[in-house]
Amino acid sequence: MMLELTILVSVALLACIVVLVFGCSCFGKSPPFKSFEDEPEDPREPYAESSGNQDGDNTSLVTFEPLPDILAKAIPSTTALRPRITCIATDEEDFTPRIVPIQQAFPRKQLTYITEMGMGWFGQVVQGVADNVLVGIRQSKVVVQVLRDDASALEMQKFLQEVAVYRAIDHPNILRLLGMCTEAIPFLVLFEYFPLGDLKTYLIENEKDIAYHKQRKILLRFAIDIACGLACLHRHNYVHCDLALRNCLVTNDLNVKIGDYGLSEEKFKEDYYDTGCDLLPVRWMAPETLTLQKGVWRTKPFTVQANIWSYGVTMWEMTQLCRQPYHWLTDEQVLEKVISKRTECLPLPYYAEDKLNIYELMKMCWREEGERPTIEELHKDLLNLQISLKYMEEVEFEKNWDLDNLEDSDESPPHETPLSSHSKYSTSQDLTTIGKLGDYPESSSSLAAASHQERFYNDLLERLSSTESYHLPLYDEPEEDS
């Protein structure tokens, strides 16, 4: 009996296998995936046209999630901080006249792609070469932002809003827009290309040259450049929602421009706190720009005063050679101690030129919202500091020069005295008294230098306030009076 039962079960199992194999062979195979090299269909054609030759039952079997939605987990396309540089004008009367006329569409056939630089929330960022994009130059290297083919109408709008500020303002300390291609899909935006990259990467890669940077006062000049660009933004009713070294670019002649290519969130993930909805640079954000709602941190409208706080943190980041602000705290601790309770403050920086005065300026940026200085005031203080440091160098140089001459001669001429003795301040006072912001010795040469710098500064402010297209002089050290 047992043997017969075993045989029946075996026969039944064999029959099931035969039926299953036969059934599978009767069904047609699924078509293979379409190659990425095939000609893509226009994503904006009506659905009826694109599916007219397909069987109705097959078109609804499987739906694949598009690649941009996968990327969005790492680079949100609807972050609260976009556009990164936004206009805060409340009505049309607050808008200042356009400085730069709207550019005509750049011919796509004059673009040649070289290499991909990375991915932004919008799509690819590509380095390329553009023909005749600059007057008198046959070919120029450019950076091209390419909006995804399947971008939604909202994403198209955000993409264009991102570049609105660059269409409105032409300034030597703000990234320059060279052209746009928006007459067809995909949208393209062309920016000037800087091989040195963003300021954070530049300082990290050149950390070994810190002595050279301090000798040439390059870090101070970087801070002045950022302040100058930010002053222009504020004057034209714009604020930067993510001001940091990673969102500034270094030119070939070591000047700094505010602007970026849209790669910061992907390149510097550690600088952003993921709320589940947005990526927020909480270590750079002013306390009044964040609020906790139902356990989730949300952003509040950015203001000019909030930008001042971020500028102070950016100065600290630069003088610490890109050390992350509050690096001893986690993001959650930053939100608690810096944003909520305001019990934590960034310490005195290590590498700044005249770091005590620099740190005083930083602390002014971190006051209560209504007590912070304007960017114009900070810019003037930084220029004054630059002047005082230059004067101290000249005094030290002439003092050493006189000492060398005395050692080379048997005796010093009775009518010659060291240059420092003509100053109101003794040598021992130079580092403490002369170093104060806006405090200059009352010697004829120093007064002349101060007067020269004051004229330079007043002329600079006048140009900054102009609404016409212009290019400011670079912040080189002033020429010595003969």
Mention every residue, 6+ apart, whose C-beta is less than 8 A from residue 268: 200, 246
Question: Helix or strand or coil: residue 222?
Answer: helix
On whether the CB atoms of residues 274 and 138 are closer than 8 A, the answer is: no
Closest CA to 152 of 63, 71, 78: 78
- 439 labelled catalytic: no
| Distance between CA atoms of residues 87 and 466, nearest Å | 19
Containing H/E element for 115?
strand 111-119
Lookup: tokens for 395: 């005094």
The single residue of 170, 225, 242, 381 carrying the catalytic annotation is 242
b/e string for 375-408 if b means 16 or more Cβ within 10 A? bbebbbbbbbbbbbbbbeeebeeebeebeeeeee
Angstrom CA distances, 291 to 296, 299, 300, 335, 461, stand at 8, 6, 7, 10, 36
On whether the CB atoms of residues 290 and 275 are closer than 8 A, the answer is: no
Largest Cα span, the chain = 135
On whether the CB atoms of residues 179 and 103 are closer than 8 A, the answer is: yes
On whether the CB atoms of residues 395 and 420 are closer than 8 A, the answer is: yes
DSSP 398-441: HHHHHHHHHHHSSS--TT---GGGGSSS-GGGIIIIITSTT---
| Distance between CA atoms of residues 220 and 99, nearest Å | 28
**For tokens 């004829």, what's the residue?**
444
Lookup: tokens for 142: 């450019």
Catalytic site residues? 242
